[in-house]
Amino acid sequence: MSKKKLIAILLVCIVAAAGYFLFKWSRGSSAAWQFIPSNAIVVITSEHLQDSAYTATDAALDIKRLPLLDIASDNLTLLNLLTPDQKKLKGFLKGKALSYSYHARTSTEWGVIMYIPVNEEETKWLASPQHSNIRLLHHNFQDHRITDAIDSNSRPLFSYLVKDHFLIVSYYGDLIEDAVRASSLNIESFRLRSRFSNVNDSDYGTSIYLRSDAWKSVVSMDNINGALLEFGKALPAYQDFHIETAKDKGPLVLKSEGTDAPDHYFADILKDNSGMPFTGHKHISQQTSFFFRSAASDRAGFKAEFQKWHKKYKSAPWDRLNYYIAGESNMLIDNLGSELILCQLAENNSITDGKILLAEFTNYDKLRPVLQKLARLANQETNVSIDQYQGYDIYSVPIPELPSGLYGPMFQGFPRSYVTYIAPYLVISNNSQVLQNYIVDYENQLTWKQSPEYDSVLTNVNMEAQLSMIVNLRKAQSGEENQVAKKYGDLTAKMESVMLQCYYEGGNAIPELTFQPKKRQTASKVLNRTFLNIDIEWPELYDAELAALQNPIDGSSEILLTDKEHQLLRTNNLREGKTEAIAKLNGAISTSAYKVDFLNIGRQQRIFATGRTVYALDEDDSSMVTTFTANLPSSDDIAALYLIDGDDDGSNRFIVKSSADELFIWESVTKKIRRLNHSVGFEKIVGPVVALNQIGNRGFIVTQQNGKIFLLKENGTVKPGFPVDILTRAESPFTWAQNPATGQPELVGVSVSGELIRISLDGKVTSRKQLLRPEPGSRFRVLFDRNSLDWILVRSVNSKTAIITKDGRDLFEIKDILPNATIQYHFFGADNRFITIKSGGYTTVFDMNGKRLGDKAIPSEMPVQLTYQPGYYKLLIFSRSEKKIQVWSIKLR
């Protein structure tokens, strides 16, 4: 080949390549911007929403049912009115990039315009589409002939217009007129158009362009989390998200090109400082439902920008802090690191708004005397400022919204702050019980570090987003005050979490959405089926109830049984069902059994009672069992054993009720059981006895069937103002709940006739609310789980039972229940709660939506016990039937 020809060929290749890239990069968005009215809040363009299947991840997430995209997908059904020929309609839409624009009609309703490319032949067909169910009328608007479809009763169905090779169609005719105006005016100041019309989205299957206020249709503004609202302000006002391909494996990622950073303090502080991977998994409780994090890799740079912002920041909590400790308040921000984390915890233990703030912090030793001084000066009451729990200092600071004064408005919802230090974080909570629960989870390693779903989240070195939010979908959906305005069943059923990150690069903010699928998927032939694992031949059961126990860390389960010689046998091999003797008792088990770290040594002990003795059995790593016992200082038998919150060192304690309705407390294996009630006698106590375990407010709630409510101090004396007589019977105990306005506890319970009653800690009835009572014979009660970790309300009448939330909202109702049915509540975390109903000789398991779990009822001659294995999403049901102990299992997901 000659040199001239070679040069010519190279020139042609270069010109062609240049032309290709010029064409590629000069291409703008494929959305029909020239027609889209300027009041559009959302614009979507996609080649796949019309496909019969549009899925991603190995969980087959239906992308068409994702928030916002579901509205476009639903509006596509409008095209069925153009022709009954589905094959023709499918061919008409195949391979086309369709555009959709959303326009607010009301606060909850969108008007949608669809823009569909058409050719000449399709234009002719659209001039007179054939469908027997519609009639076509026409009207002119600005010299454009708009077609209006009506039904046989002259009711409007939809309107459309063909213009410049686009079919423009909507349910609302006035929106078609808006599209005509937009095409004639060509308003370049339309913010979505001016920002995104030049984005090259040709490589994406679906693109979403929106104003930030569009998310109001997804997240309810009524009960929105304050941190979530503030997090939204840190995102750009105009956002774009793109789905590259529908991947079969791994998470689904919606990427962004980014727009101008908002005027927000986090954006200003973090804009010139890259993020850093997350290493604090062992500090995040598994009960976290919403996780917010800001982090920067350059600590010195972050500190300089943070302090520059804080000097200009004015807030009442900071002024109050300075009032108490003056210049020493600067220690709380001078030693701040570059990482701030806020965890919104799932509801449990009567707490509806538990928060944990983790602030990376150095020089805690210097801060300790400052916190002691602050707690003493800020508290007017005595003995409420400083405490210890499991070796950690706890400081109570009654400055409302103190964290927002320290770290900005992202950290709201702290009527009072409880502070401790767990290196490298200063830990602040809005409730002392929440902080104690957090310490227990941290010490027992019930954290993200032990979670297969979260043990590696945010660890990738490429994940340098400065601001992150992770939502555990199951826990977020389980709360009574649901954060989500609309249910997204496919999303919550198949995805474990949603992660929203925001990268700041100078003046730009780049958000990114990641949908993380659940790691373990169960085959349909196994999912939600009931299987019999083992039968244990046991002709005579001597125990009062089944003692099924679980290790809360690894989920392993066992059952304890006693024989006629009072040998205690343990079965923890749930495949073979073999039993082994581990101790000798002085009688059969007569109470509930528990497995907790009573000795506070880092492993669980088995706790239960016979008629005369309370036992604590500890088993070391070499399987050696040590038995600790305690006897009542009374001649009466033991009637009940209740697990209550911890002592000063954080270990659990136990309340023992005698057959004579006297109460005793066992605080440690080194202490004898002591009588709790000296100055007052009780009659017909309805159990359990509930512990109130907060700084300055420690005690025990005792409820009598006649409606008298007692609040005992730690020494057993009755607190002033009590007992409170609710003047009606109570068939269930009162408990305590967090007052969301003050953050302080109050007593709450329900009368047998359905009055939901709240009592302040000084013994005053603060509210009475009559719950729905559809029939005169309806009876109400509070139903606790076995470990007294959570409670719900139950309404029963004749053969019906309704399960009710704490605020009185009906969850579901079960009918055709036989008399004397046993209803139990089983709590294994906010997202794993179950109801069992023993009716006749069978027990049925339900989730909290009223869905029956398993494909058959469980034969049971006595109330069943449940354990839950979180690593396998498996529910184990222990029952007794036909002289056998049976273990059943149901795989939940």
CA 618 vs CA 369, 440, 553: distances in Å: 39, 19, 16
Q: Please tell me the predicted confidence (pLDDT) of residue 175.
A: 92
Least Cα distance to 340 among 302, 287, 300, 367 occurs for 302
Furthest CA-CA distance within the chain: 116
Q: Give the containing element (helix H, strand E) for 44.
A: strand 42-46
Contact 616, 604 (CB under 8 A): no
Distance CA 759, CA 661 (A): 24
Q: Which residues contact 785 (CB under 8 A, 6 or more apart)?
A: 791, 825, 826, 827
Q: Which residues contact 13 (CB under 8 A, 6 or more apart)?
A: none
Counting as low any pLDDT under 50, the low residues of the chain are 3-6, 8-27, 480-485
Q: Give the containing element (helix H, strand E) for 302.
A: helix 299-312
- Produce one character per residue of 223-240: b if its CB has 16 or more CB atoms within 10 Å, e if not: eebbbbebbbbbbbbbbb
Give the SS3 label for residue 883.
coil
Q: Please tell me the predicted confidence (pLDDT) of residue 556.
A: 84
Distance CA 621, CA 624 (A): 7
Per-residue pLDDT of 185-212, as tens digits, reads 765 557 888 888 888 888 888 999 999 9
Least Cα distance to 254 among 246, 262, 266 occurs for 246
Distance CA 109, CA 142 (A): 28
Least Cα distance to 64 among 73, 51, 75 occurs for 73
| Burial (0-12, 13-18, 19+ Cβ within 10 Å), 517 | buried
Q: Please tell me the predicted confidence (pLDDT) of residue 621.
A: 80
Distance CA 500, CA 488 (A): 17
Write phi, then psi, for 193 (nearest 5 degrees). Answer: -65, -50
Distance CA 108, CA 597 (A): 50
Contact 434, 351 (CB under 8 A): yes
Q: Please tell me the predicted confidence (pLDDT) of residue 669.
A: 87
Q: Give the containing element (helix H, strand E) for 331.
A: helix 331-334
Distance CA 672, CA 160 (A): 84
Alpha-carbon dihedral angle through residues 708, 714, 720, 724, given to the nearest 10 degrees: -10
Q: Please tell me the predicted confidence (pLDDT) of residue 488.
A: 80
Least Cα distance to 355 among 433, 470, 467 occurs for 433
Q: Please tell me the predicted confidence (pLDDT) of residue 487.
A: 72
Q: pTM for the complete prediction?
A: 0.83
Q: Which amino acid is at 496?
A: E
